[in-house]
Structure 1
């Protein structure tokens, strides 16, 4: 289906696309208010109100100096808090300026399917510089990921390819094969995933975060949440408002409690349409000529060229450099979806288009579409969204009609975002999703790219309406998935940094153009 990238969400696929992941202040003068300027006091000594953390050095070459790691025990089932426990991998980098330290900043990863430990490793140097010692930086691997307790579904390799985990219809729009595969995947996860797989949910991740807060000895946490992590962060702020300090939601998911992951997946059709003009402008730029990647003379010609090529590959797949894995229309469409997350990936899909057009060339598939996901990664990205909310009863005729209509409206995604998935065959979740409301402290800053392909702007506006006066929204006139310290703007970075380090926040919603 962002940030997360599962079959149902941007962020897990974003993570997988990287193989280790599948991520003046405005046009007018911005008035600001100051929120929570005083240092945040500790509640108790670490571990007093929760499990103790035993830290060990874990810095890696090229990573953050002073990084520490620990295991946090959490209940497999919070209805039985003293029952079986599982482990979460957590990491921290302490403030290098104790006199400037005001608390703990939790980095909430995206996905479902993104490792917080990996995210802190990649984003940590820039974040540490921006925070200038104001926080200890902490993150974690959610259940099922990285160094935390894991499980799998024992899926066959063909069912773990990105273009099969995601329900791309057949070239003629037929979905019978998608339905059969989705049922097979759901049944395999039911047989093999067990209680651990059933515990993968937003509700449990939120409980795990609060258990981590208590283990750290903090009365309040500040947070930087990304993509799917914005939904986790908003649910935490709803459930535990008095334990939130300065809260940043970056690349924001639609909080609609009746849809959750199903809505995120469906929104990707419009997200791709929002973002594609950026790729088209890049692909028609004369600067691409010397690179051999100029696809058309005018930006408006790139879309019909791409759609025609995908349709040709539907009819006549082309052998690639990966034995047994041809370049099909759907693999080309999926490669585009991955590349839309960042301008830096445009060349990857531009090169693939050129190779597909050249009769003498053998296309080199991007790693994310060349082979299967690891079984445990596939399990966690599916299970979290499938466990979060009840999906509609599987109906091939109803989904076929939805796919036909969506293919006509959004040909870039060819009906995939509304197709039948394993979640339609999943056992009903045990809990109702949390409704996000305006009840709580006004301490949330939202930052969102206007043209985000995975967490579209329309979903961010829904979150903004839900939060009411609790939040302010900074819109970045930019494309890509991930805003702060990533694919956003200097103005956006300054605004977020000022909020986290000084408490200054725009008095009203605003936008950045630089």
Structure 2
């Protein structure tokens, strides 16, 4: 693809017209997959894979509006059902992200499933479009722009978004210049269509799924586009389905998500006997964190060969640390380091080129983002005042603020139309996909869904934190198809 300058952004075809040009959204709307390519073999180079796990490749259209055109490869994995006599079908393990992969999940978290579930389903993992070893995407970003603090950027200490807007220009230019045709076709609706192509390649009439985080949105979109291809669908740690904002709503949700979880961290971080204790009482932890972040804003800690430890790095460690109780010690150690003027043992890292490209391309292609720096400054200022822990990041300018392409189709609106085949499971305290967003998905799905809210803390709920009631309810649904009569709370 030739370089695309800012003033040549591809806006010639309205999104509504492109939607009309897409084939009808049914499983048989496009020619069948290349079944000859679906040859199961031992998985090469998959670390720690169960010896029963096998791999295959399926070819799918890069552009579903041109099904006869270029194709891309998707890497699949499976562990067959453990009881041929009890086999019901396939259970897709749909990863988070955008940019996540479930290719090794049949060997990993799939083995946490109860035996009665594993008896009934082939466990199916996959690397989504753009993620290696599927045909991978890349923007050729400089190493500095692969940092998590660039891809999920924070405003400057004074609330300025100027540096973020400059990063957005740079990243967007690189993706337009180096990303090739695939960059245009990274999107949630295409991920959902890919799921259906995998279904067809497997020879299955319907799929069951255990989807987590961003995967809940992909699978909700799938259930909207292909409602009668769904069997038993579990949506775990759920994204807000707001069709006007999409990923902007997910980011904005971090404000409340952090507020939901921080008191739990504060109680842990003030417990007597905790080797990582940072304060005598839970009430002291929040003001301590805010003071430490403000001090690092003024006086960053520098160490040769290491990333600068400033207030935004501490905030980033906080957001990551609140995602799981098992990461609380990392956050506490970072706070202790900030207090002593040293660099903590663990600093935010960077992501691979394909993950950066897919994450950026998907959220930017799903919906148009505002372009106005002034608008972001206003939103950031409001967010910083109302939610000081997250300091405006959830409403900040992302690379999408300068994205060179317009969305090729409108976001899919999630509705209650379709079979009642969905079970949502959600922790009460989740900094990444907060309960408030899950409730919006539950409302959008209407009668199609039942929701199990778990008295738990952390990202991911099912089989993750030992809540017997929640785990038993989900396992029973996957095994029997029976859901609670109504929305349920698990203490």
Relative to the length of structure 2, the TM-score reads 0.90
Distance change in 2, residues 1:488/1:231 (3 Å): farther
SS in 1 for 2:301: coil
Distance change in 2, residues 1:502/1:102 (3 Å): same
Aligned with residue 300 of structure 1, among 271, 277, 283: 283
Deviations 1:168-192, CA, capped at 9 Å, x for gaps? 1111111111111111111111111
Aligned with residue 41 of structure 2, among 56, 59, 62: 56
Aligned match of 1:326: 308
Aligned residues: 460
Aligned with residue 501 of structure 1, among 457, 467, 479: 479
Aligned match of 2:390: 413
- 1:92 lines up with 2:73 in the alignment: no
Alpha-carbon distance in structure 2 between the residues aligned to 1:153 and 1:326: 25
Contact 2:416 2:447 in 1 (8 A): yes
Aligned match of 1:135: 121
1:260, CA displacement in angstroms? 0.5
Aligned match of 1:398: 375
Contact 2:234 2:425 in 1 (8 A): yes
1:128, CA displacement in angstroms? 5.9
Contact 2:77 2:104 in 1 (8 A): no
1:300, CA displacement in angstroms? 1.2
Aligned match of 2:268: 282
Correspondence 1:413-492 to 2 at 5 A: 413-426=390-403, 427-487=405-465, 489-492=467-470
- 1:374 lines up with 2:352 in the alignment: yes
SS in 1 for 2:381: helix
Distance change in 2, residues 1:493/1:403 (3 Å): same
Distance change in 2, residues 1:273/1:195 (3 Å): same
1:94, CA displacement in angstroms? 0.2
Contact 1:264 1:455 in 2 (8 A): yes
Alpha-carbon distance in structure 1 between the residues aligned to 2:172 and 2:402: 6
Alpha-carbon distance in structure 2 between the residues aligned to 1:226 and 1:503: 19
Alpha-carbon distance in structure 1 between the residues aligned to 2:459 and 2:481: 25
1:119, CA displacement in angstroms? 3.4
1:167, CA displacement in angstroms? 2.2
Aligned match of 1:311: 294
1:50, CA displacement in angstroms? 5.6
Structure 2 stretches lacking a partner, 5+ long: 1-26
Alpha-carbon distance in structure 1 between the residues aligned to 2:116 and 2:435: 26
Aligned match of 2:17: none
1:216, CA displacement in angstroms? 0.5
- 1:250 lines up with 2:232 in the alignment: no
Alpha-carbon distance in structure 2 between the residues aligned to 1:425 and 1:79: 25
Alpha-carbon distance in structure 2 between the residues aligned to 1:218 and 1:511: 34
Aligned with residue 205 of structure 1, among 181, 185, 191: 191
Alpha-carbon distance in structure 2 between the residues aligned to 1:49 and 1:76: 12
SS in 1 for 2:106: helix
Distance change in 2, residues 1:154/1:103 (3 Å): same
Aligned with residue 125 of structure 1, among 78, 90, 111: 111
Return 70-79 or 115-124, whichever deviates more.
115-124
Aligned with residue 322 of structure 2, among 307, 329, 340: 340
Distance change in 2, residues 1:170/1:49 (3 Å): closer
Alpha-carbon distance in structure 1 between the residues aligned to 2:39 and 2:118: 26
Contact 2:236 2:425 in 1 (8 A): yes
1:61, CA displacement in angstroms? 6.4
Larger RCO of the pair (alpha carbons < 8 Å, separation 6+): 1
Alpha-carbon distance in structure 1 between the residues aligned to 2:422 and 2:432: 21
Distance change in 2, residues 1:471/1:449 (3 Å): same
Contact 2:431 2:459 in 1 (8 A): yes
Distance change in 2, residues 1:61/1:187 (3 Å): closer
Aligned match of 1:22: none
- 1:364 lines up with 2:341 in the alignment: no
SS in 1 for 2:463: helix
Alpha-carbon distance in structure 2 between the residues aligned to 1:86 and 1:453: 35
1:120, CA displacement in angstroms? 3.4
Aligned with residue 268 of structure 1, among 225, 246, 254: 254
Structure 1 stretches lacking a partner, 5+ long: 1-42
Contact 2:33 2:59 in 1 (8 A): no
Deviations 1:321-352, CA, capped at 9 Å, x for gaps? x7141211111110111111111111111112
Correspondence 1:181-260 to 2 at 5 A: 181-260=167-246
Aligned match of 1:18: none
Taking only aligned residues, the RMSD between alpha carbons, in angstroms, comes to 1.8
Distance change in 2, residues 1:150/1:48 (3 Å): closer
Distance change in 2, residues 1:61/1:201 (3 Å): closer
Aligned with residue 51 of structure 2, among 38, 49, 65: 65
Contact 1:50 1:214 in 2 (8 A): no
Return 343-352 or 57-66, whichever deviates more.
57-66
Distance change in 2, residues 1:400/1:457 (3 Å): same
SS in 2 for 1:63: coil
